[in-house]
Structure 1
Amino acid sequence: MSALNGDLNSKFGSLNVNAAVFVPSWASPSSTAAPQHPTDMANSQVNGVAVNGSVPPPDDWDKMEEDDNGTTQQEQPQTQTTDKQQPQLSFSDAQNGIHPVEPAGDSKQIETEVKSKSTEVTMDTTPGPPVVTAPSTKKKAEPVKENLAPVKEHLNLVFVGHVDAGKSTLGGQIMYLTGEVDQRTLEKYQRDAKEQNRESWALSWALDTNTEEREKGKTVDVGRASFATDVKTFTILDAPGHRSYVPNMIGGAAQADVAVLVISARKGEFETGFEKGGQTREHTMLIKTAGVKYVVVAINKMDDPTVEWSVERYEEIVNKLSPFLKKSGFKKEDVHFLPISGLTGVFIKDVPSPNPFPYYSGPSLLSFLDNLPKVLRMDGPLRLPIAGKYKDMGVVICGKIESGYISTTKGKSEMLLMPTRKEVGVLSIFADKEETDIAYTGENVEVKLKGIEEEEISNGFMLCDKSDVCHVAKKFEAQIHIVDYDSIICPGFTCMMHCHTAIEEVVFKGFLATIDKKTGKKSTARPRFVRQDEIVVAVMQASRPVCLEMFSQFPQMGRFTLRSNDKTIAMGRVERLASKTQGSSGTSSSSSANASNSTSDSHVASSSNSSSAAN
């Protein structure tokens, strides 16, 4: 016992706890610097965070972590005292329960108190200058680097073409050759397809996933899949080829950057799809209206017994399609023809050796896609048109980010859903089936939302930044090209408008002028009706508010297609929004809406007349 007392006395003597500088003063501040408690670090920081009582800048707030009580704590920076005197306790330390060591206490109790108070800071009590260290191993939260683009460029491919051209089989073959579908899964598809006497459909089942599609052998909804090469990442959008599902095909084309027009070289199948009323023609026109620039014409089934890699058949198809694609608005340098076999995989990933078709000396399909020029993207606030929705432990939406970025970072995950102005939060983001914290323009994503129910979402709704939302309008002025309609169109004519992923009923309210195709000049007189192949400036009114932008400002949200009686009759672009209200909720009363419409009509008419007079 005497030895223990002696040991304690020697330690207390070295601490010199009875010195005046160690006694906390309740009247005057101490003259030497005291080690700061972690809660005091907000007012005095080191390493460039904040000093002299200044508030940390907003960029550094992201590095703070919240505790269970909702308060923020920042990691203790490493400091070192240079004064040879022992550091004294400050007034804030006394408030937090840190007191001078009393000699009369028990040694075990003293050691426990010292350990409990040194979880964040450990102090050397040996003679000499004390050293304060920060042994915490927690990693600092790095702020999201918003200005970085994905490591690989992302492209959205839409497979279009006539029914039974082999679009789904081609997509399944690409998935298998790139390793997204393994051998075991393919063998399962082959066994299941053999049981239904549909062995040639096995590859298509990688994209046609539901029972109806597999039983009928027809794609109904737009199939989605993803794969990657050494250069780029891709999202496959497998559009249906049957004419009954063209509205679904338009929704897939609206998300595409590049189109793969699949043509069947088999005798009779190419002719059926290319004749008037065939889906080859209609799909070509629709992808041009959707803003797709590059088209890869994949002449499929070249290994069919009726073709057998015939040069004459290949040239026949190329010679018939080339003038039609040029007439549709595609430049020669933006169109590429190549022969393939979707069933065997020839010319898809690599050029085979020996080459069964030496007439073609170009690259394979994937090599050509890797070497495409970089697609230009919109730079602006978030615009994500919703192309689909489902429930999976919450509400999940899917679509392509047309501009901006989406993030799960706190403070940046709160969005507005237009046109209803519903506030939603982003819980998680999935790009190519992998969860990520941020996704950029051009990526096809699935986003899990909070604060909304599935019934409150429709295709064509727009996910926007709260600070900058899209325009919403029911009435607008548009330039429309009538491409296929047997009769005349008069004011009051009703049809369906497909704009980005939205589908709304619209009516022609009136015509302002016709446009000469050769000179581009507008007529001075208002036409009473329009016919096929004419270009007209018309006032359109939708049945409900639609998320729209002027074509000159945002092409992806300013172009549309008009359909009537299951046939595409016209394509157009938005020239002016009659009721140019940004973020309008569309909930005004009927009387005020009618007044607004009449005012908008007069505004559009007067502005159009003045512009025509100027021309």
Structure 2
Amino acid sequence: MDIEEDIRSLQLDSAEEDNGVVNPEDAKAEEVEEVDKMEEDSKEDVHKEAVQVEHKVKDKEISASDNKPVVEKEVCKKRHLNVVFIGHVDAGKSTIGGQILFLSGQVDDRTIQKYEKEAKDKSRESWCMAYIMDTNEEERVKGKTVEVGRGHFETETTRFTILDAPGHKSYVPNMISGASQADVGVLVISAREGEFETGYERGGQTREHVQLAKTLGVSKLLVVVNKMDEPTVNWSKQRYDEIESKMVPFLRASGYNVKKDVQFLPISGLMGTNMKRRLDKSICPWWDGPCLFEALDATDIPERDPKGPFRMPIIDKFREKGIVVMGKVESGTVYEGDSLLIMPNKAHVKVIDIYCDEDEVRYAGPGENVRVRLTGVEEEGILSGFVLSSIAKPINAVSEFVAQLQILELLDNAIFTAGYKAVLHIHAVVEECEIVELIHQIDPKTKKPMKKKVLFVKNSAVVLCRIQVNNLICIETFSDFPQLGRFTLRTEGKTVAVGKVTNLLSSN
């Protein structure tokens, strides 16, 4: 009952008291006293209720149960997508990434002018946009991305984390690290005469990056044909169609559903054409499709499980008011105050702060690239490839597992048999491994095991085998956690096989 109703009730009670006549002055004085008292009581009740609610919220926020409320310091209702830029060296990945940050207002004109001057001083005027993503001096001097560049931007409906992967074959392990964190891939192809052909021919990074992206779980692909404004191309539909016609069969052979999961579009990364706004018909009369921002906005978000056991592979760490680890949440949700495990060394840690992009938040769900400040562990006790994991259901730590492998292309004169050694890449783990047994070969048509005992296999074969590593690694079966059960095998700088974990053998 509110205060006004109480006052009316009080007036009726006073008027009927003893069935007698009430002195108006006395009645008025009593009413004022009662109203004052009720207002004080009401304020006190509201205050108590607010305190109780605040305590309940705080108690629930630090609780590690699955029924915790979702309370953010920074509330953002937008969906989130991780986008990796892949492709052959010099295709324009860093320039496109830099242009996106500029067009979305993440970089101001003064910074661009500084980069333009720096690029001009190096006689590399066309590199200025790439400097936004390529931040260290080695990258700027060489004009080649080495580390995975990272940036953030938003559209009206979506928050994006962009990952600029290196294109040079010497830095493929870094590209693998970037692609393993992504949901969507932007494959950048240069339309310039000769550059597309160099990337697409055998040994070119266009091919390897596509195969790696598919293996690493990048299910959606935007193929952007860049440098369409280049004088030898000049927005030629013939050149664009030629590139698309050659790429489609290869994408299909790499496992992509081209009609459903792949989209082509022409752009100029250096000029920003067909990126934030659609192409002007005066520039390119034959194109009536979307611009890059629209295509990214229309991309579906992959299914994620916010209530699953927590899994976050650690890709990097640093000291800043404690130990901060970086990575992508693959499963579950992490809250401020949670107690977790770092596997495989079983270190018990507590979450102090969580950051998404540059914002401090109370919790982070699957798909978010986050920084998490921890207590209870020293910097030396954390390595890339370790996994931040729930205590109730920690991730498996094994030194041996069974996997289904697809052989891509072995080195010349190499034989894939028991004893074969390679470097294993699985999420953020990089470990030397050995094939200890070929269990059986799989018929590519029927998908069933062949009866004949196999001693070795050749290119394009599919084989079930047992793999051993020297140190404990944190992995899951592909059927349980696809992102933690996909891997690649590389030898002497070349990807020789891709695979998925089917069974875990030895664990701690």
| TM-score using structure 2 length | 0.86
Segment drifting more, 147-156 vs 131-140: 131-140
Shift of 1:443: 0.6
Q: 1:474 aligns with which of 399, 403, 406?
A: 399
String of CA shifts for 1:12-52, please: whole Å, max 9, x gaps.
xxxxxxxxxxxxxxxxxxxxxxxxxxxxxxxxxxxxxxxxx
Mapped partners of 2:322, 2:283: distance in 1? 51
Separation (CA, whole Å) in 1 of partners of 2:102 and 2:38: 68
Matches within 5 A, 1:135-534: 136=47, 140-141=54-55, 142=57, 143-144=60-61, 146=69, 151-332=77-258, 333-379=260-306, 380-408=308-336, 410=337, 412=338, 414-485=339-410, 486=412, 487-534=414-461
Alignment CA distance shift 1:136-1:289 (3 Å): same
Aligned Cα root-mean-square deviation (Å): 2.2
1 or 2, which has the higher strand percentage? 2
Structure 2, unaligned stretches of length 5 or more? 1-32, 62-67
CA distance in 2, matches of 1:496, 1:577: 19
Which segment drifts farther, 357-366 or 322-331? 357-366
When residues 126 and 567 of structure 1 are mapped into structure 2, their CA distance, relative to the original with a 3 A threshold, is closer
Please report how far the alpha carbon of residue 150 of structure 1 lies from its aligned counterpart in structure 2 after TM superposition: 5.6
Q: Which amino acid aligns with 1:274?
A: Y
Q: Compared with structure 1, are the counterparts of its residues 360 and 422 closer, same or farther at alpha carbon in structure 2 (3 Å cutoff)?
A: same
Aligned residues of 1:507 and 1:541 also touching (Cα < 8 A)? yes
| Alpha-carbon distance in 2 for matches of 1:363, 1:163 | 26
Task: Kindly provide the CA deviation profile for residues 464-521 of structure 1, in whole angstroms up to 9, marking residues without a partner as x.
Answer: 1112111111111111111111432121111011011111111011111100001111
Question: What's the CA shift string for 1:558-612, capped at 9, x where partnerless?
Answer: 1110000100000111111112x4xx2xxxxxxxxxxxxxxxxxxxxxxxxxxxx
Instruction: State how far apart, in whole Å, the 1-side matches of 2:116 and 2:322 are.
Output: 34
SS at 2:223 equivalent:
strand
1:557 aligns with 2:507: no
Identity of aligned residues (%): 47
Give the CA deviation at 1:426. Answer: 1.6
Give the whole-Å Cα distance in 2 for the aligned partners of 1:557 and 1:531.
27
Residues 70 and 363 in structure 2, CA contact (< 8 A), matched pair in contact too:
no
Distance 2:195 2:38 in 1: 90
Write the letter of the residue equivalent to 2:397.
V
- Partner SS state of residue 387, structure 1: strand
Task: Give the number of the structure with larger relative contact order, counting CA–CA contacts within 8 Å between residues 6 or more apart.
Answer: 2
SS in 2 for 1:560: strand
**Secondary structure at the counterpart of residue 120 of structure 2:** helix
The whole-number CA distance in structure 1 between the counterparts of 2:424 and 2:37 is 82
Secondary structure of the structure 2 residue equivalent to 1:544: strand
Calculate the TM-score normalised by the size of structure 1: 0.71
Distance 1:447 1:130, change over 3 A: closer
Q: Gaps spanning 5+ residues in structure 1: where?
A: 1-123, 585-615
Instruction: Say whether the 8 Å CA contact 1:495–1:507 is kept in structure 2.
Output: yes
- CA deviation digits over 1:291-342, x for unaligned, max 9? 1111000000000111111111111111110100001010022110000000
The answer on whether the counterparts of 2:153 and 2:160 sit within 8 Å (CA) in structure 1 is yes
Looking at CA atoms only, which structure, 1 or 2, has the larger radius of gyration? Answer: 1
Contact 2:279/2:291 (CA < 8 Å) preserved in 1?
no
1:270-311: per-residue Cα shift (whole Å, max 9, x none)? 111111100000000000000111100000000011111111
SS of corresponding position for 2:188: strand
Aligned pair in 2 of structure 1 residues 129, 182: CA closer, same or farther (>3 Å)? closer
Q: Pick which of 177-186 and 254-263 moved more.
A: 177-186
- The answer as to whether partners of 1:488 and 1:532 remain within 8 angstroms in 2 is no
Q: Secondary structure at the match of 2:385?
A: coil
